[in-house]
Structure 1
Amino acid sequence: MTAPHSTGGLPGYAEHFEEPEGYLDFARYGPPSRDVLAATVRALERSAHADQDTVNDLMRAEPRAREAAARLAGTDAAHTVLLPNTSTGLFHAAFGLPGGTVLVPAGEFPSNHYPWRRGAALGRAVPRTLVPDERGRITADTVQAALTDDVVAVSVSAVDFRTGYRADLAALREAIGPDRLLIVDAIQGFGVADLPWQAADVVVSGGQKWLRASWATGFAALSDRALERLEPVLGGWTGVTDSGVFDDVEHPVAPGAQRWSTTNLSPVTAAALATALELVESVGVPAIEAHIAVRTAQLIDTVRSCGGELLSPAAPAERAGIISFRIPGTDPRRIAKALHTYEVVPSVRADSVRLSAHASTRLAAVERVQAALMSLR
């Protein structure tokens, strides 16, 4: 097994969390920090004792969260809007494209398929399946080979939810050129993978997984090209200029990403998201990514030493924090039962088991996995 840098999580970050020692399911849900829990409680308590200043005070969490998300995405608040989840952002993008063809990879998480199907049914852009390479990955070459004159956008995941393969966003941008939109579902990588988000025209992420902000949190960051080409079909009364003036007149759309706003979101969840994002900033994505890489390498060594077959990329540069594997001749449900016996929390699929460690994951979690897999022999 790879020698650990530390028996604990990342100093300065791990101390904010208290998830169970064997929790390895961050790709599904990231238990929030004590800071996020406290921010949520404070906001709710404030709302329970409301006075004339309460709503205005609580709403200040929205620009705070938007600014933090913008900094981490490498843009500014004018190009960033808060959303309740990833799917909402993808629906905005799908309904915003008036026509043309969008390349969407086969095997994507369904949230990157249904918006395009629904949009096509209403006469908007039409999705076309993008076939991965022989290793099941979307690369610049696979995209380049699929490009035709009618393609106006490519919609991909930054990190594949099944294998942890990380897309080369810079190479994808170069492949599609400056005249097509690159739309990225960032939920499996934002805050833990140091990727060139500025290469994308739309970056959408929910906050309930790796950002550890809990549910009903998220954002989208839009490029100038996206703002120019995507119609704000789902924009509501908060997505226009002078939204506080109620005069029965249709107002012009907001000049920036705020045009994607449908209505006011919860200031409670905005406070949670702001707190989570600022914690990531305080440590830095490269430090978080480096710690996750160590734990991931240790888990891979453990899986292999116990007869497991890795489905995730072997090269560290090609993967993020997700490890998928199977043990030939062993039902994934049996593997999961063994892991549960040793209080390890994985995700279980029909053909594989998925483990995902974070920067607060301790070496003891790896030891629990090893004990569980050894017990299957």
Structure 2
Amino acid sequence: MTEATPAPGDLVLPRAEIPVAADRAYLDTAYMTPLPTSVAEAMAADARRAGRLGSRGQDDRAAAEEGVRAAAARLLGSHPDDVAFVANTTQGVGLVAAGLDWAPGDRVVVAAGDHPSIVLPFRARADAGVEVVEVATGPGAALDPDAVAAALEAGRVRVVAVSWVRADHGARADLAALATLAHDHGALLCADLIQGLGALPCDLGAWGVDAAAAGAQKWLLGPHGVGVAHLAPDLRERLRVPAPSQHHLEGGSGPLPHGPTARRHESGSANHTGRAGLGAALALLERAGPAAVAGRVTALADALADGLADVGAEVLSARAAGSGSGIVSVRVPGIDAAEAVARLDAAGVVAAARADAVRFSAHAWNDEGDVAAAVAAVAAL
């Protein structure tokens, strides 16, 4: 997929959907999205229907959610049968960490300093003798492919686990290249997608990614407490189901005849209201188009990086094609990141302090005025 760059001033996503945009330059999507009005209304409408219909509305809810699953599959570059609803990224990654048949001495390769959501579920398998091996990151990179290759050559690696986009400085990993590298050594690739999905075109099927997950509350424009996981067919046949649900048992062999799709990993009662919100969010993104969203996000991030550098900030985020993202992290000389974020907030600019830096993250509903406000506020620090 190519990333088309819209003309300056184009609003790919409707700014009117974001109430906070009326009085703040909100540049903190990498922490959480301001809930779009249509998403909030979809959740409220679902709750109202539940009050009005009770159990009589459940069949319609379930049918609608299959449409949400299909929309998620399109955004992921997956297939609906390969998509499971999860509560969050950690739960999705945990399906792999808890589901594989580990043996003492098995190893998992992760990038040094990567987000806990992709690391901790595997560290928790120390009880099964699993070793988590940290590899170096390259300059401005999510991780060093040569270091990954060396770890794989050392043997016993079952999984390479990585964030597609790093939460600290926004470096993007090449998932297709990593999948090939992992598969060549008999390992799986498991990815945390949360800082890229909804902002960058995604094609997990073409890339050969075995497992991936993302919560909805960042670039997907959705609520907390719901997300999606991709589980390739060959992998999910090998995964133990740690919390089986009566809703996803079908005809088959064994004491628990799990259905053949990724739905087998959806445990217990569904978060219907969260899924309704996710459906509305996916509709916003789909109407805009992944390529247009990515082009807008990239253009705004480039403008932020250039403008912040011009006023003396040290830009830590790589902006080369294919390695950057919607995240722009900077250090402001002589000012602690937390203090800088507090002062920016007082000036009407919302950002985050992460990894000793100020992290800005613009989505496709942001505009050039938000970029200008951020640059001016940093210049005034």
Report the TM-score, using the length of structure 2 for normalisation.
Answer: 0.90
Cα distance in 1 for partners of 2:116, 2:280 equals 29
Aligned match of 2:190: 183
| Distance (Å, rounded) in 2 between the aligned partners of 1:341 and 1:149 | 52
2:278 to 273, 280, 302: 273
Q: Choose 20-29 or 346-355, whichever is displaced more.
A: 346-355
Is the deviation greater in 204-213 or in 261-270? Answer: 261-270
Q: Write the distance in 1 (CA, Å) between the matches of 2:179 and 2:300.
A: 30
Letter of the structure 1 residue corresponding to residue 235 of structure 2:
A
1:176 Cα deviation (Å)? Answer: 1.6
Contact 1:61–1:270 (CA under 8 A) maintained in structure 2: no
Is 1:329 matched with 2:334?
yes
Are residues 1:62 and 2:38 paired?
no
Map of 1:246 onto structure 2: none
The structure 2 residue matched to 1:314, chosen from 319, 327, 330, is 319
Counterpart residue type for residue 6 of structure 1: P
Q: Note if 1:150 corresponds to 2:156.
A: yes
Counterparts of residues 187-226 of structure 1 (less than 5 Å): 187-198=194-205, 199=207, 200-226=209-235
Q: How do 1:361-372 and structure 2 match up within 5 A? A: 361-372=366-377
Q: Percent identity?
A: 31
CA distance in 2, matches of 1:119, 1:238: 28
Call closer, same or farther: CA 1:309–1:106 in 2, change over 3 Å.
same
Residue 312 of structure 1 deviates from its aligned partner by 0.6
**What code does the residue aligned with 1:175 have?**
L
Cα 1:319/1:137, change in 2 over 3 Å: same
Identify the match of residue 229 of structure 1 among 216, 229, 238.
238
Q: CA deviation at 1:135?
A: 4.6
Deviation at 1:277, TM superposition (A): 1.1
1:241 corresponds to which residue? 250
CA distance in 2, matches of 1:234, 1:18: 39
1:49, CA displacement in angstroms?
1.5
Q: Partner residue of 2:168?
A: 162
Q: Displacement, 1:326? A: 0.2
- Alignment partners' CA distance in 2, 1:55 and 1:323: 43
**The one of 113, 116, 119 aligned to 2:119:** 113
Q: Residue in 2 aligned with 1:298? A: 303
Which AA in structure 2 matches 1:257? A
Answer whether contact 1:342 1:369 (CA < 8 A) is retained.
no
CA distance in 2: counterparts of 1:340 and 1:272, whole angstroms: 28
| Aligned mates of 1:224, 1:125 — CA distance in 2 | 24
Partners of 2:29 and 2:333 lie apart in 1 by 25
* TM-superposition CA deviations, 1:243-298 (whole Å, max 9, x none): 9xxxxx94312212112111121211111111111221111111001011111111
- Matched-pair contact (CA < 8 Å) for 2:140–2:316: no
CA distance in 2: counterparts of 1:197 and 1:356, whole angstroms: 24
- 2-structure distance, mates of 1:19, 1:316: 31
CA pair 333-126 structure 1, distance change in 2 beyond 3 A: closer
Structure 2 residue 91 is matched with structure 1 residue 88 = yes
Tell me, yes or no, if the aligned pair for 2:111 and 2:142 is still in contact at 8 Å. Answer: no
Please list every run of 5 or more consecutive structure 2 residues that lacks an aligned counterpart in the other structure.
1-5
- Name the structure 2 match of 1:346: 351
Conserved in 1, the CA contact under 8 Å of 2:223 and 2:277?
yes
Q: Is the CA contact 2:83–2:229 (under 8 Å) kept in the aligned structure 1?
A: yes
In the alignment, the residues of structure 1 paired with residue 237 and residue 129 of structure 2 have an alpha-carbon distance, to the nearest angstrom, of 16
Q: Distance in 2 between matches of 1:242 and 1:44?
A: 33
Greater alpha carbon shift after TM alignment, 366-375 vs 35-44: 366-375
Give the Å deviation of 1:317.
Answer: 2.5
8 Å CA contact 1:309–1:325 kept in 2: the answer is yes
* Partner Cα distance (2:130, 2:246) in 1: 25
Distance of aligned partners of 1:46 and 1:137 in 2 relative to their CA distance in 1, 3 Å threshold: closer
Is the contact between residue 98 and residue 125 of structure 1 (CA under 8 Å) also seen in structure 2? no
- 1:338, 1:366 → 2: CA distance? 16
1:368 to 1:209, Cα distance in 2 relative to 1, 3 A:
same
Distance in 2 between the 1:182 and 1:238 partners?
Answer: 28
Judged with a 3 Å threshold, the aligned counterparts in structure 2 of structure 1 residues 343 and 124 are, in CA distance, closer, same or farther, namely same
> What is the total number of aligned residue pairs between the two structures?
366
The amino acid across from 1:103 in the alignment is V
CA distance in 2, matches of 1:107, 1:237: 39
Instruction: State whether residues 139 and 168 of structure 1, in contact with CA within 8 Å, keep that contact through their aligned partners in structure 2.
Output: no
| C-alpha deviation, 1:52, in angstroms | 5.0
When structure 1 is superposed on structure 2, of 217-226 and 123-132 the one drifting more is: 123-132
- Which sits farther off after the overlay, 58-67 or 320-329? 58-67
Q: Structure 1 residues 313, 176: CA separation in 2 closer, same or farther (over 3 Å shift)?
A: same
Equivalence for 1:14: 15
Does structure 2 conserve the Cα–Cα contact (< 8 Å) formed by 1:27 and 1:188? yes
* Cα deviations by residue, 1:316-360 (Å, 9 ceiling, x for unpaired): 431110011102222223322331132000001362100000000
RMSD of aligned Cα (Å): 2.1
Distance 1:111-1:62 versus aligned 2 partners, 3 A rule: same
